[in-house]
Structure 1
Amino acid sequence: MRDWITATGAESSCTEPGSPWENGSCESFKGRLRDECLNKHLFTSRRHAREIIEDWRIDYNLNRPHTSLDGLTPNEFATRSATNHKMNRASL
């Protein structure tokens, strides 16, 4: 794939290995997960880790507004985006 991309002069839309600065939102999320969840808990088992991480994920997606989403939670943003997409398709 890399050879084809180079030969055609196209650019890859994938993050190059070892280049976390190419995907800032993913790195931001991983940092928050690490700082707010993983570094605060001593997991006693895989099941315990799954439960704690799932609780954090639910809070992150359903309860916490994100400035990058104009103060919406990710769940609210996804719901509005889906609704807008359906309305835009219906008007075509």
Structure 2
Amino acid sequence: MQNGYIERFNRHYREDILDAYYFDDIYQLQKLNNQWKLDYNNNHPHKSLGNKSPVEFMPRFEDEINLIPKSEQENNFLSNLEVS
């Protein structure tokens, strides 16, 4: 096992898409893939977010961001862009 996160992602993808359907053409696979990707990235609970989905976690994150003054947010963003 090289990377547990990638292995887990591959298992979920294989079980949810590749093993669950028969495809007549690549366009069916692309359509299902896009639907699954949206669901996985927005509604799937993530351990790193306290077993919440990103949609559930986002309001908390936005509240924390709003506590930082806007000028400080801009300074942090600009300092991350600077190359040393």
Question: TM-score of the superposition, structure 2-length normalised?
Answer: 0.61
- Does structure 1 residue 28 correspond to structure 2 residue 13? no
For 1:72 and 1:61, the matched residues in 2 are separated by 12
Offset of 1:76 from its aligned partner?
6.0
- Does structure 1 residue 73 correspond to structure 2 residue 64? no
Offset of 1:66 from its aligned partner?
1.9
Offset of 1:44 from its aligned partner?
1.1
Runs of 4+ in structure 1 displaced over 6 angstroms?
A: none
Would you say how many aligned residue pairs link Structure 1 and Structure 2?
A: 69
Q: Provide structure 1 residue ranges, at least 5 long, that are not aligned to the other structure.
A: 1-20
Residue aligning to 1:59: 39
RMSD: 3.0
Q: Provide structure 2 residue ranges, at least 5 long, that are not aligned to the other structure.
A: 77-84
Offset of 1:74 from its aligned partner?
4.2
Aligned partner of 2:2: which letter? Answer: E
- CA distance 1:42–1:67, shift in 2 (3 Å): same
* Percent identity of equivalent pairs: 28
